[in-house]
Structure 1
């Protein structure tokens, strides 16, 4: 608990696991959250010939009959991909989230294959997974689950937020350190990671791994993690998981 040379990698999967009690006896406030370095933003996407031409088409169908739309993503139910679906449906106005249908596959690639093949209606995953299928024309991304549009080749993808569905779903990559370290150690790791995030080497690593800018440090990042855990806890309880 006082090892000042211990730096632990974490992501949204960490906060989702904490929120759903997967780490028995552990809470997000037991460590010092240092910084986030980047994120892979969530997407809502459909096959090229889908009847859902816009995000509004999809939200209308969900509200008329939540069971009429089948979502697919990686991992198990109540995983991060599933939670993104529930977050989206919640903000879209679906009252009974237990009615929303989600098929969990072993990975995003398998889920994408099912969606592109027309066997499932909607893909819930990350932009890095969907990018190649979008470029080939097999997939249409209805919404990016970020605060702002991305840059470059992805700049034409609208956010859910700008379409009236206020959902932010970054699969962030970051770090935490033990709880009993000195203030000097906290400052060292915060400033070191900040310096790293601004380096050309890290920017190249982000590009090659499909990560987008998502920089938070210190108290701002810690509050973000605590809020994310609380939001997922509330969502899980509404699904009967709490």
Structure 2
């Protein structure tokens, strides 16, 4: 069974009654709930837990880590970020959601500012599927339409994605690369844009389907990891002596 850890800073839920009403068990709880229903072994971790809930034991037993953050990116300890980065390089999948684009772990793995335009105006978002044969888009129609969402607009300062799965259009006119995949070391990374905390986005069945698909896609490949560093020759090396 694929083991997933859903990480959430869990601050909006404590500070904003509206968010607490929409997500009474936290954004992490809502996501872990539908992942459990989909057949995954889903646990949660939050910012204020010791080691942010991401102990060596938790990370080493996570096939995929899902990350949601916004208010408190700076409070995430650098040593925890480095541990997560190493697990991704070793093969753990990472799914970064919405405002997690500004998280330390995503910026570290991307090597860019990851900045963008944004606006809160209760506007419609339409996520167009631009890679219809990709497994992350399985079961999704031509597009996903969200009645109200926060706008993110280009330019999104990330490296060119290995694959672009979704492109969003917003009622105000902007577009955005909303579903992007990256390979980092032995691990797979998926960035998925929707999920502003004041909207019930994570109850949308299509959004849930994308995240379920992404977990399946991002899980580690069952193979021996490459060995790095000094290596002994596989074949006998014949040394030629100059005559």
The TM-score with structure 1 as length reference comes to: 0.29
If you compute each CA radius of gyration, which structure gives the higher value, 1 or 2? 2
Q: Which has the higher strand share?
A: 2
Q: Which has the higher helix share?
A: 1
The TM-score with structure 2 as length reference comes to: 0.29
Structure possessing the higher relative contact order (Cα contacts under 8 Å, 6 or more residues apart): 1
